[in-house]
Structure 1
Amino acid sequence: MLEIENLHVSIAGKKILNGLTLTVEDGQVAAIMGPNGSGKSTLSYVVAGRADYEVEQGSIRLDGIDLLRKSAAERAALGLFLVFQYPLEIPGVATMTFLKAAINAQRRARGESDLPIPDFMKQVRAAAQKLDISQDMLKRPVNVGFSGGEKKRMEILQMALLEPRFAILDEMDSGLDIDALKTCAEGVNALRGKDRGLLVITHYQRLLDFISPDIVHVMSRGKIVKSGGPELALALEASGYAEYAEGAAA
């Protein structure tokens, strides 16, 4: 379970989050929607442990563990995963090497031995096939030369292989055509389960047509201002964010 209480965050002296409180239960898919500048991506970065944000007040806990006392690497080892809005290219680092290092780092953090190479290859190929990731893509450096949709599918591949306790999807639908969106959403839905929480951050209802949320939160001015069921996302699609946009955080 992810618990965020009264979170105040700034960057370079500018206040972004203003007393945000949010709980996502185990097994729950929660969606956060809101206008540009409301602080949605900042929330994802702060939970994941990005260092250039200043947490002025509040707490973030995963399964009761204080994440603010943990480094980004330690948070990942606890089972936290972030799907980036704009995945980075890593020239010179082979995708398979990267995936193997990530999986084995998580296993070591749990006190487990490294995954044998034949088992690793089998897992990667099975997961890649479900996400329409070719063997050629797996042979390239991480995300180098990939389209936007290919980069997002690689992010979901990493999530499928790491099987995190809690995953944040920061505008996963950004830049995706409908076919890539469906493929990525299917990969996410395959990971839904009673022991895993998901936080889906998006501007648009269309992603939630494929990843059905249990609860929808509206974020504005750096805090949650309204919550409801999936019907709330439909209402936002129809009416827009005009009533929430004034004074957006950035």
Structure 2
Amino acid sequence: MPVLQIKDLHVSVETENGTKPILKGVDLTAQDGETHAIMGPNGSGKSTLAYTIAGHPKYHVESGSVTLDGEDLLAMTVDARARAGLFLAMQYPVEIPGVTVTNFLRTAKTAIDGESPAIRHWIKDVKTSMANLRMDPSFAERNVNEGFSGGEKKRHEILQLELLKPRFAILDETDSGLDVDALRIVADGVNRAKASTNLGVLLITHYTRILRYITPDFVHVFVDGRVAEEGGPELAERLENEGYDRFLTATNVG
């Protein structure tokens, strides 16, 4: 079975002006080890897709289905989705005062695996991953994301990815706000995770620059809550040269 399968997904959100449809029939299938880039202009539904899959209560599924290894993902609680192998790297990671990075990571690993990791191997894994991501060891004792820069928050997201070892990762604009060096470090972390676990990735981004370091197998262009076009890496190159104008013009005409 496919790792992640989305069929005719319609999603809405409540606003001050009533119910607003965001996703209007999304179909997407991703297999083990594949990287799918989700691209498109602002407001096209990319982040809505990410948070709907993860189980954010703000988004209401009107119809359609999302399955993970054939199991109904939408029927699962958020923590059950994580235990099933789903991971979301957030666009805007939140601060958690009073909870250190060390405690957060170990608690998350225990909750997902159903047992505590062996201390000696766990400490070694954490130190190795932090070194690979060029994170100062002192970050382990700081509160989660508290006082972290944008780049440090994104590295911490990838640190979680490397240590929790999910089946499928959704990266919601992980490249936003990163300079060139931080972008390369984060991308290297994603590539390490893919190589070690055959991780499937749904990579949401506005821009093609992260795709220079994480090569997508498939590119999906989102416009007005739908997949307007699909292709391989060459589609990302075309978007780099042409932008989204041709999609937006077609949408306005329609």
1:75 Cα deviation after fit: 0.2
Q: 2:212 aligns with which of 205, 209, 213?
A: 209
CA distance in structure 2 between the partners assigned to 1:195 and 1:211 by the alignment: 14
Residue type of the alignment partner of 1:25: Q
Matched AA of 1:238: N
**Contiguous gaps of at least 5 residues in structure 2:** none
Describe the SS at the equivalent of 1:68.
Answer: helix
Task: Kindly provide the CA deviation profile for residues 153-185 of structure 1, in whole angstroms up to 9, marking residues without a partner as x.
Answer: 000000000010000010111000000000000
In structure 2, the residue corresponding to 1:173 is in which secondary structure? coil
Aligned to 1:53: 59
Q: How many residues align?
A: 244
State which of 14, 19, 22 in structure 1 corresponds to 2:28: 22
- Equivalent position of 1:31 in the other structure: 37
CA–CA distance in structure 2, aligned partners of residues 245 and 77 of structure 1: 39
Residue from 40, 45, 49 that aligns with 2:46:
40
Secondary structure of 1:15's counterpart equals: strand
Matched, 1:78 2:84: yes
TM norm structure 2: 0.93
User: 3-state SS of the aligned residue for 1:86?
Assistant: coil
Task: Work out the percentage of aligned pairs sharing the same amino acid.
Answer: 52
Q: Which residue of 1 aligns with 2:183?
A: 181
3-state SS of 1:145 partner: coil
Amino acid at match of 1:129: A
Aligned-pair Cα RMSD in Å: 1.2
2:203 is matched with 200
Identify which of 229, 239, 244 aligns with 2:242: 239
**1:35 partner SS:** coil
TM-score (norm 1): 0.95
Query: CA–CA distance in 2 between the matches of 1:128 and 1:196?
Result: 20
Give 1:122 deviation, angstroms: 1.1
| Aligned counterparts of 2:121 and 2:92: Cα–Cα separation in 1 | 30
AA aligned opposite 2:45: G
Where in structure 1 are there 5+ consecutive unaligned residues? none
Does the alignment pair 1:87 with 2:97? no
Residue 96 of structure 1 pairs with residue 96 of structure 2 = no
